[in-house]
Amino acid sequence: MIEFKNVTKIYENNVFAISNVNLEIDRGEFVFLVGPSGAGKSTFIKLLFKEVELTTGRIIVNEEDIAKLKRKQAPYYRRKIGMVFQDFRLIPTLNVYENVAFAMRVIEAQQRDIRKRVPMVLSMVGLSHKYKCFPNELSGGEQQRVALARAIVNNPSILIADEPTGNLDPDTSIEIMKTLNDINHAGTTIIMATHDKSIVNSMKKRVIAVEKGVIVRDEQRGRYGYED
């Protein structure tokens, strides 16, 4: 499903953010991307989401070489990938239902499909009863659930989660991870960048560790492996 072939990303001032990375992620995997700050995790995600262009190499997603995509094609490619961020990024003037429906309206989904799909996804994340609430009326955990619902409402094959529990307390983080696990069990491939050692160690998923732009460890049922 996802393949990095000799991928290198060099920023200005000759800074190697990613250096000759090779890896494969299969359909339906749940992968943790770990490493110290500045290790290259964010660049990895930006390359996969095509927010930045690689310097050399190839990135294959669903049998498509995304480096060959033209700029006008990139937004259509991104619609096939769900993104969840640490800071939620909800639209404050829209309620829960409208925030999730917005992702479907962007792809010009039919209104009847929106009316059917949005309540279904809100039920999946346990927020059916909050559909009329606005973001400022929700807890941090609830806001992240809305962000999750928005990310999966278009049924993406890949979900990228960038520090999704970074602003949440431990109990709420556990609930968010249960929801992500359920989404993964439904067939979505998940790549999650995190510094949360306890979550990584408890879930026993594949762990890819990055240091200075290089993969230093790739383990099935791996552990975090870094001291706080």
Do 2 and 63 belong together in one domain? Answer: yes
Task: Give me 89's structure tokens.
Answer: 């990024």
Query: In 10 A of CB 52, how many CB atoms?
Result: 15
Identity of the amino acid at 66: I
Residue 85 within any structural domain of the chain: no
How many domains is the chain built from?
Answer: 2
Q: Which of 107, 137, 155 is the last residue of a domain?
A: 155
Report the distance separating Cα 35 and Cα 40, nearest Å: 8
Report the distance separating Cα 45 and Cα 103, nearest Å: 20
Identity of the amino acid at 50: K
Do 166 and 55 belong together in one domain? Answer: yes
Report the distance separating Cα 32 and Cα 133, nearest Å: 32
* pTM flag (> 0.75): yes
pLDDT tens per residue, the chain (228 residues)? 899 999 999 998 888 999 999 999 999 999 999 999 889 999 999 999 999 999 999 999 999 999 899 888 988 898 889 999 888 999 999 999 999 999 999 999 999 999 999 999 999 999 999 999 999 999 999 999 999 999 999 999 999 999 999 889 999 999 999 999 999 999 999 999 999 999 999 999 999 999 999 999 999 999 898 665
Report the distance separating Cα 152 and Cα 183, nearest Å: 8
Residue 31 within any structural domain of the chain: yes
Q: Residue 207 CA to chain centroid, in angstroms?
A: 15
- What is the Cα gyration radius of the chain? 18
Identity of the amino acid at 120: M
Do 40 and 3 belong together in one domain? Answer: yes
Q: What's the sign of the alpha-carbon dihedral 78, 87, 168, 192?
A: positive
Contact, 121 vs 89, CB < 8 A?
Answer: no
